[in-house]
Amino acid sequence: MNTHTITDPSALLDERFRAAIIAAVPEFDPSRINTSITASRQPKFGDFQCNAAMGIAKRVGKQPREVAAAIVANLDVAGIASPITEADIAGPGFINITLLPEALAASLDALDSPQLGIPIPAQPKTIVVDVCGVNLAKQMHVGHLRSTVLGDAIARLNERAGHRVKRQSHVGDWGLPIAMVVEKLIELEDSGKSTDTITLDTLNTYYKSAQEKCKGEHTAHKAIIKYGSHPKALAECELRIEDADAAMKRAKSRLVALQSGDQRSVAVWQRIYDTTMTECLATCKRLNANITDEHSAGESTYRDELVGIVDDLVSRNIAEEDDGALIVRVDGIKAPCIIRKRDGGFLYATTDLAAIKRRVEKLEGDTVVYSVDSRQALHFKQVFGVARKAGYDLKSDGTQANLVHAAFGTIMGDDGKPFKSRSGGTAKLSDLLDEAVTRANASVAEKNPDMPDSERGPIAEAVAIAAIKYADLSNESIKDYVFNFDRMLAFEGDTGPYLLYALVRISSIFRKANESGIDTKGAMAAPFMLNDPAEKALALAILRYPRTLNGASEAFEPNRLCAFAYDLASSFSSFFDKCPVLHNDDAASQASRLRLCDLAGRVLRDALGTLGIPTVERM
């Protein structure tokens, strides 16, 4: 017997109803039975309900209520739920189920283990998760928030579900833009300036100016031709284009030097790499995202594989030449996937193909999931299509790996447009975090004036990160969402701080209990007494943890676990209000409630940990 069957009442009910359905409707293919046991939305419909009768009735051509009655007649829920009769059949054939108090207590008791009822899969899978994906010489900005936070959460969800997870950060460390910055640094060195203590901020400036220098003027030129301008301005512009062309030429030859392993170029590149990654990984750490150096898989690491892949696709007639470029056509997609430019250069599609190959063949991924902006949907459709066509998705056992684009929407500002910094540019991620921390600090100081600064600092940091991450994770990821400090940092309502507050109250109860000499340790073995509706509601909320976690991990949807966490915190708050724990003369009830508090706290903490949200003891 596995843990799942014991701790999750819905799993227990699933078994009993399956048996009843087989007996009640023998003509129905047992392998197609879906018992459809769900938690009831309203208490008056019981604790759980079975919605299977309607669907089965349709397929076997019977009346739904007739099927429901047959199921009930063949049903044995002894030891789990109150006896179920025809009176429990409602509407078109819903079967309402109310758990026995002792069964509820037993389930809770079984869940109360270090594993917290999460089943360990018989055959763990390997899930490769594409996360973060920063670019050299560029600061992390809002655009990286979601790929980092969501990607890490998806990784954690699958780790918690018992799978092997391999994070891969596809670092943009290759190509012309980087060569431009390398060239810039070398020019500086040649003019006698030291670049030893260069910062990422400075690199970022170089990156932008190099970009503009090499192509910005061309667009300006086009605009002038199109809309007309003073001849002098035009002449000046053309002069600058000559400059730009020269710069572009230098950058391209620098790229060649870099790619062919020129020592000096590589050394400068390495410095840029180190400077960028040191700062970005620090930001990841600050975000409580488990993304470290070992997860970095830069585009440069694929450079020696690209030629082989392209040759392979050509020799197998998967790729074809078209207008000088090399393309692969994928069924159902109009736009072909370009894997080599007319000038012989490779594109990011080529690199991504190499990445898929590595992730399936070398990293042995059963699933390769990409936490990447939804605007890249077409790109991934193409690349996945090419990979399948070429068989790069085939695992060693010959079956196909599951390629998933876990797409997410854009972060918007209050004006409904993509989020910008106050000055209008792209907002640097660390600045955003700083502002959230400042605000959290002020709030904590206001609510809790006695707390010393030294204690408040780290707490404000955790509260701010929790607020930002919860806001990001709790929405359905595919949708755009509005980034609003006031809303996410509000200590009321469906926010990160509210969840932390629930934990703080639990911690506080135990602090107080221990101070007054109550045997909290002993209470951890106390029998659960769940007589008050609020106690029962809290128990039912806790018991939903295993199912919710599995559903969220399988669907790569962290927002489901967020909803669970909020529901749990909210159920706890109601319980806290109605069921005194310490101000309670009944020793048995007190012990039960202490244990319930402890379990609720551990489950909530575990859920938040699985989302990558930091927690605190006080706030």
176 sits near RNA (criterion: CB under 7 A): yes
**Cβ neighbours around 249 below 10 Å, total:** 11
Contact predicate 414/152, CB 8 Å: no
Contact predicate 466/439, CB 8 Å: no
How near is the Cβ of 180 to RNA at its closest, in Å?
11
List the x/- string, 124-163, binding to RNA by CB under 7 A.
-----------x----------------------------
Q: Are strands 337-340 and 319-322 parallel, antiparallel or unpaired?
A: unpaired
Number of H helices, E strands in the chain: 23, 13
32 sits near RNA (criterion: CB under 7 A): no
Q: How far apart are CA 37 and CA 596, in angstroms?
A: 25
Position among 74, 482, 520, 532 found at the interface with RNA (CB under 7 A):
482
Q: How far apart are CA 123 and CA 577, in angstroms?
A: 43
Contact predicate 194/411, CB 8 Å: no
Closer Cβ to RNA, 351 or 371, answer by number: 351
How near is the Cβ of 193 to RNA at its closest, in Å?
28
Give the DSSP letter of residue 256: H
Name which of residues 374 to 433 contact RNA (CB under 7 A): 374-379, 410, 416
Q: How far apart are CA 54 and CA 51, in angstroms?
A: 7
How near is the Cβ of 94 to RNA at its closest, in Å?
4
Name which of residues 431 to 470 contact RNA (CB under 7 A): 443-444, 447-448, 463
285 sits near RNA (criterion: CB under 7 A): no
**Residues 585, 587, 593, 597, Cα dihedral to 10°:** 100
496 sits near RNA (criterion: CB under 7 A): no
558 sits near RNA (criterion: CB under 7 A): no
Part in contact with RNA (CB under 7 A); list of ranges 38-46, 197-205, 269-277, 307-315: 38-46
How near is the Cβ of 358 to RNA at its closest, in Å?
16
520 sits near RNA (criterion: CB under 7 A): no
Would you say the C-alpha torsion 275, 281, 284, 286 has a positive or negative sign? negative
Contact predicate 440/432, CB 8 Å: no
Contact predicate 13/37, CB 8 Å: yes
Name which of residues 74 to 93 contact RNA (CB under 7 A): 90-93
**Edge to edge, what strands does the sheet with 37-39 contain?**
37-39, 48-50, 94-97, 89-90
Position among 77, 118, 277, 347 found at the interface with RNA (CB under 7 A):
347
Name which of residues 349 to 378 contact RNA (CB under 7 A): 351, 374-378
504 sits near RNA (criterion: CB under 7 A): yes
588 sits near RNA (criterion: CB under 7 A): no
585 sits near RNA (criterion: CB under 7 A): no
481 sits near RNA (criterion: CB under 7 A): yes
Closer Cβ to RNA, 55 or 457, answer by number: 55
DSSP state string for 405-456: E--B--EE-TTSSB---TTSSPPBHHHHHHHHHHHHHHHHHHH-TTS-HHHH
Position among 62, 301, 570, 598 found at the interface with RNA (CB under 7 A):
570
Part in contact with RNA (CB under 7 A); list of ranges 185-193, 362-370, 429-437, 496-504: 496-504
Closer Cβ to RNA, 194 or 516, answer by number: 516
43 sits near RNA (criterion: CB under 7 A): no
301 sits near RNA (criterion: CB under 7 A): no
How near is the Cβ of 414 to RNA at its closest, in Å?
9
Part in contact with RNA (CB under 7 A); list of ranges 226-234, 354-362, 482-490, 518-526: 482-490
54 sits near RNA (criterion: CB under 7 A): yes
Closer Cβ to RNA, 211 or 290, answer by number: 211
Plot region of 614 (φ>0 → left; ψ -120 to 50 → alpha; else → beta): beta
Question: Facing residues of 402 across strands?
Answer: 367
Checking 329-334 for CB contacts under 8 A at 24+ apart, the result is: 330/381, 330/382, 330/385, 330/386, 330/389, 331/385, 332/385, 333/378, 333/381, 333/382, 333/385
Closer Cβ to RNA, 392 or 566, answer by number: 566
Name which of residues 225 to 284 contact RNA (CB under 7 A): none
One-letter amino acid at 142 equals V
574 sits near RNA (criterion: CB under 7 A): yes
How near is the Cβ of 196 to RNA at its closest, in Å?
28
343 sits near RNA (criterion: CB under 7 A): yes
Position among 110, 325, 363, 394 found at the interface with RNA (CB under 7 A):
325
Contact predicate 127/367, CB 8 Å: yes
How near is the Cβ of 3 to RNA at its closest, in Å?
20
- Report residue 173 as tokens: 């460390």
Question: Facing residues of 346 across strands?
Answer: 340
